[in-house]
Amino acid sequence: MNDDKLWYRLDNAGKLYSSIISSRATTLFRLSATLTTPIDPVLLQSALESALERFPFFKVQLKQGFFWYYFEGTKQIPKVEEEIYYPCMSLSIKKRGSFPYRVYYFNNRISLELSHSMTDGTGGLKFLYELVKQYLHLKESVPLKRETISNTQLRLETENSFRKFYNKSIPAPRSRSGNVFKLPIQLDKKGYYHIVTGIISVEELKKRAKEYDVSITILLTAVYIQSLLKIQERTSRRKRPIVINVPVNMRSFFETNTMRNFFVSITPTIDARLGEYEFEEIIQEVKIEFSRLLTPKKLKQYIKRSVISEKFLVLRLMPSPIKDIVAPSIYSFFGEGQYTSGLSNLGIVSVPSEMEPFIERVECYPPPSIGNKVKAMLISYKQHVYISFGNLSKDRMLEREFFRNIRELGIEVTIETNDEES
């Protein structure tokens, strides 16, 4: 097989993300694993090469076609680098020879920064898992299970599941529009991205969530909305709805093995114009919204909405340089403009018991976004939930409010940031 001939179409989410890339909105999100010993770059490089053997889908570079971007197979191998930049920053994946992801190491931590045009959090986690597995095999002699990957499986991993579950006759959901609340904060200079990570005990969160009879995601979404309501109360005279963008991993609802983007966004909303909300009321509303939308039938509507946007003929016939010009404004108007902020839960990470002693923690950082200057992403590993806020502004009003509210629920929080020492 000649690798040069190999190419993939982008999925509909990837098509959008590839066109909106800028020096601030890099579309990169970070998944990182902190091990117990300092990282050996040479071993990490060979681990990366083995991981790429397992996932040939990652041996690609982003190329510009006449109408759409696409991924082209390459024989080049990405190099692991020591971390020197702010997280999720300073990688232009469109540059020739650049990969749509990079692997960083710093002290004990391996970080994988992936462009959202390539895959979503779940796909990225699979690759990170493979990378860490290969690394621990080389470094700590953790045994590898021999597994043979058939060509069929490789094909299934690269399939576009949006298209697979797309049904033409299903109507798209009525899209909500309107003037939503935006945080009154200013962008920092280019190249800066401020991370605040809160470390919370899973047990404590579970206990609190159980008291309200909801899941951890719903509890945290409700706290998030409550924090935004309080900020709006303080800073803005006119009340606007709070709309949170919560990505849903569709793999839990539809049978697929894909490594590519397969998520839709649901938008729990609290309309602040209707009056003051108690925390219990917010929780109830979010709970109802989640159970109402998270059914395969309703989600198929959201798939429909994702796919029709890329089937729109005028958009398809537009040359890709022109798409690059119009896409950012379309995205900020119809996409991010419709949300106040985003909260994404990557779920629970579990690794085999022989690997667990070597991995101290797993974290994820959200991609920087100009329309929603602050976004949050959370992941659970062992006894802790790591919830990370990515912020393009220096102002930490949302982080402060959110973690104070968590404390008010009686839950302990440990805070870490990426610019405490600079």
Partner 1 sequence: MAYCPKCGIKVEGDNQPCPLCSFHIPKVNEEREAIVSVRKFPKTANPYPAYLRRVLNRIFIFLSLLVLVAVCLVFYIDYSLNDMFTWSRYSNLSILAGWVVLYFSFGYVQSFYKVIIGIGLDAFVLLFGLDIFNGRLEWFFPLAFPIIAGATVISVSYWSVIRALSVRGFNMIGYFFMAIVILSMWINFFIHNYQNKTNPLNWLIVTILQLLPVLLVMIYVKYGMPERIKQKIARKFHL
| Site residues, partner 1 (CB under 8 A) | 23, 82-87, 90, 106-109, 189-192, 196, 198, 396, 399-400, 403-404, 407, 412-422
Smallest gap from Cβ 231 to partner 1, in A, equals 13
Give the integer Cα–Cα distance in Å for 220 and 345: 10
Q: Which is nearer to partner 1, 49 or 82 (CB)?
A: 82
Q: Which is nearer to partner 1, 158 or 201 (CB)?
A: 201
Q: Which is nearer to partner 1, 318 or 413 (CB)?
A: 413
Smallest gap from Cβ 299 to partner 1, in A, equals 36
User: What does the CA dihedral 157, 158, 161, 164 come to, rounded to 10 degrees?
Assistant: -100
In this structure, how many other beta carbons lie within 10 angstroms of the beta carbon of residue 344? 23
> Is beta strand 81-82 parallel, antiparallel or unpaired with respect to 101-106?
parallel
Residues with Cβ within 8 Å of 401's Cβ and at least 6 positions away in sequence, in order, are: 227, 228, 230, 231
Give the integer Cα–Cα distance in Å for 151 and 62: 23
Smallest gap from Cβ 253 to partner 1, in A, equals 36
Smallest gap from Cβ 115 to partner 1, in A, equals 18
Is the separation of the CB atoms in 302 and 249 below 8 Å? no
Is the separation of the CB atoms in 105 and 37 below 8 Å? no
Smallest gap from Cβ 422 to partner 1, in A, equals 6
Smallest gap from Cβ 416 to partner 1, in A, equals 6
Q: Which is nearer to partner 1, 160 or 226 (CB)?
A: 226
Give the integer Cα–Cα distance in Å for 21 and 165: 27
Q: Which is nearer to partner 1, 144 or 415 (CB)?
A: 415
Q: Which is nearer to partner 1, 339 or 402 (CB)?
A: 402
Q: Which is nearer to partner 1, 281 or 395 (CB)?
A: 395
Smallest gap from Cβ 277 to partner 1, in A, equals 23
Q: Which is nearer to partner 1, 79 or 404 (CB)?
A: 404
Give the integer Cα–Cα distance in Å for 6 and 70: 11
Smallest gap from Cβ 407 to partner 1, in A, equals 4
Q: Which is nearer to partner 1, 97 or 171 (CB)?
A: 97
Smallest gap from Cβ 406 to partner 1, in A, equals 8
Q: Which is nearer to partner 1, 119 or 391 (CB)?
A: 391
Smallest gap from Cβ 370 to partner 1, in A, equals 15
